[in-house]
Every structure is written in C-alpha cells, then in structure tokens.
Amino acid sequence: MRKAHGILLMPFARIGGRMIFPPPVTTRVQTDGSFTSAAARVSANITTRDQTTYRLAATAKAGDSTETEWVSVYYGLQQALQKDQDAIELENDNLSVINGLIHQTTPLRASYARHYRTHILRLANESAWTGIRWIPRHLNTADDILRGKGKS
C-alpha cells in the first residue's frame, strides 16, 4: 500500500452496520470507476482482515463517469460482503459520492445516485460496521486496476 506523504486523511464516517464503532481489524476496500464512450468499468481493491488482496474489475451499465463511481462503491461493498468481510472501510476519490453517502438526508439530483445510495446503505446495514472516506486519486489503488498497472 502506498504511503500518504504529507497527507492527513480524514477518519472513516460510519454509513451503516450493527456496530457503532469499528472493530480493531477491518477490511479496506478502494473503489474506482471509469467511463468512456466505448465502455463503463468499475474496480475494487479489497484487502481483507487477514491481508489477502483481491484486485477485481467488471464492466458496468452507466451513463456518465459519476455514475460509474456510484456503481464502483456498490460493487466493492458487495464483493467484500460476498467474501465474508463484515467490517469494511470504503475509500473512493469522488467527493460527491462520498458526501452523498455520509450526508444521507441530503437530496441527490440524479436518479441513479438516489438508486445506488439506497442500495449501498442497505448493504452497509448488513455488515457489522461500514465506514467511508475520500482519498486522493493517487492513493486509490483501484485506479491502477482500471489502468492495467501492476500491484502498487
């Protein structure tokens, strides 16, 4: 994992789960989306509690780049839960998506954003604890998956 030289990252904001505070050991899930006229793709870099890493990518149905970011968070959370990880720290580099999930009563203009927020929060509530935070793009290893770069 890359080190954040000179960058102070914010703590994770809880968005769901049965626990109020995170357990001492969690799963880190970094997500990213990519949109071109040819295809929409999402990726998730999942590092489990036992330090197993999964580098996943999939095609997605999306109409723009912001929608792919929403889909990527949903995809990453879904994949972590399918791998029996229930204490999850989500990271993404799209501030509007992060704000839309942290501030759950803030109205969202795009119908897809409302749709994915509902589904992400529903999945988060199936976990023991799920939190989210923004990270700078250069720290997002899920971006490397979409760019075809090797391990970071």
How is the chain split into domains, by residue range? 13-146
Structure confidence at residue 150 as a pLDDT band (50, 70, 90): low
How high is the mean pLDDT of the chain? 94
- Residue-wise pLDDT for 53-104, tens only, equals 999 999 999 999 999 999 999 999 999 999 999 999 999 999 999 999 999 9
Structure confidence at residue 27 as a pLDDT band (50, 70, 90): very high
How high is the pLDDT of residue 7? 77
Rg (CA), the chain: 14
How high is the pLDDT of residue 151? 57
Question: Which residues lie closer than 8 Å to 111 by C-beta, 6 or more apart?
Answer: none
pLDDT of residue 125 exceeding 90, the answer is yes
DSSP string, 78-146: HHHHHTT--EEEEEES-HHHHHHHHSTTS--SSHHHHHHHHHHHHHHHTSSEEEEEE--GGG-HHHHHH
Structure confidence at residue 152 as a pLDDT band (50, 70, 90): very low
pTM higher than 0.75, yes or no? yes
CATH class in words for 13-146: alpha beta
